[in-house]
Structure 1
């Protein structure tokens, strides 16, 4: 416990002297809304703008980032947990030089680590925080006790919904729960598989209204992605749609969303970053 406290003091000192990654998680209330497809293409577009991006597949047991990218990594974060590799050695490279960590059973194991392994994890992950601009966690659908802990540690959440009533209801339920535990965490909203512009706007307005009315919480609408046949064709070729057809409507919409996100991200006060990923994780770990 003393070693953990000393390491965490060191993290604070380092953070005060340098910039660290912005951590974000992409979530949805239900499966099948295109969450992983968004994560992959968003990460690629960020990297194409000169950002250093690490994409972490946390869709435990159902991860499909490798399928979307047309590659298979022989390593995962589990190789770190079992001691065979460092965290950096689990990283593989993807399009536009994005970095990728395959999840395995991922960070759900973090909250049952012994002191020695926890210290090793925080030390090595802290190095990643210095090397990347964005660390993006692609989460599984819904939440459970362990993934909720992780979601409460990231800087921001990107919520993916579709215009379907069940998807809207589930997205609201997830945001309502996380807001009840941490009312400060920012929510960004994206509506996927939109048939027409009005449908996308109405879906986002509906969620904004209920969040504002019942939770007094403002969420940040990033935009919508059209229901585009290009996605199906790109997935069948195992090529991210933004690379398969950059001029497609969905690719243009994704580019707009990325620009909107970056414009908002860079306008935020740096002081918000005082409680970054590892400092939040330690609260759960030391308080278990």
Structure 2
């Protein structure tokens, strides 16, 4: 009887399709705030916790992700979209088990696909995403109609800012732009290069106050990364800072962010829309 029950459980596991990866988009209102560095090291930190992570570099024309980890892939998502390569062939191995896709010039191709191409892209991506726990998009600085379809399809938005007033204004403008298109998409705030814990906390509090006052939104204050010379040295050596020096203040800050993120229930992600990322993305691409 026990053998029969075990066989039934195994059969049910085989018949139940695996869920797609949880999707996050990392954005900033302006360039130069450390967004790509956060995306890479956050991905590595998740991988260290045992999660399987796919990092998608959509900071088109910059290629910062590859520079930060000293890699140079031969293919990008553009090669898949043009039919030259399969989805699996444009996925490359990064540090600590993180896998990544280079965006190349693929974003403009992605948003101009016809219906057949959209079907092929989303079905191929859906198949791949069943192998991962997280898909993390490193978005380009600023927002436009090309990026909005991806942003509105993900589960959560991570907003990276510094303590500079211009960075704060741009971060707010970014969240307002997204909020007006989807008022339930969860925001997670990270303050980078803070001179002190107080400066970082004050910055997050100011940004939260503005969001509550003008948008009626209460974001999740995820954490602070200090201004750390170790990060600059790691960038020069093309080694992710969480691997370059695990005891640095920046690495400790990232570890705290990861712990808070993993331990926090993502209350809005499922309530907002229980469809998969690729199902939502397909709808947005069809409705262009």
**TM-score, normalised on structure 2?**
0.91
3-state DSSP class of the match of 1:135?
strand
State the shift of 1:106 in Å: 2.6
Deviations 1:172-201 (A, max 9, x none): 000011101100100000000000111000
Secondary structure of the equivalent of 2:264? helix
How far 1:270 moved relative to its partner? 4.7
* Runs of 5+ unmatched residues, structure 1: 1-15
Aligned to 2:164: 164
Who is 2:22 aligned against? Answer: 22
Question: Could you tell me whether the CA contact under 8 Å between 2:185 and 2:268 is conserved in 1?
Answer: no
What's 2:90 paired with?
90
Q: What's the secondary structure of 2:225's corresponding residue? A: strand
**Aligned partners of 1:47 and 1:116: how far apart in 2?**
34
Partner SS state of residue 221, structure 1: strand
Report the counterpart of residue 190 of structure 1 in structure 2: 190
Deviates more, 1:63-72 or 1:106-115: 106-115
> Larger Rg: 1 or 2?
2
Moved over 4 A (4+): 265-273
Aligned to 2:230: 230
Residues 1:69 and 2:69 are matched in the alignment = yes
Mark the runs of 5 or more structure 2 residues left unpaired by the alignment: 1-15
Alpha-carbon contact 2:156-2:269 (below 8 Å) kept: no
TM-score (norm 1): 0.91
How many matched pairs? Answer: 273
**Post-superposition CA distance 1:217-267 (Å, at most 9, x none):** 110000100000001110111100000000000000001101111111466
Shift of 1:277: 1.4
Write the distance in 2 (CA, Å) between the matches of 1:93 and 1:137: 16
Q: CA deviation at 1:110?
A: 2.1
After superposition, where does 1:198-277 map in structure 2 within 5 Å? 198-265=198-265, 270=270, 272=272, 274-277=274-277
Q: Is the 1:24–1:134 contact (alpha carbons within 8 Å) kept by the matching residues of 2?
A: yes
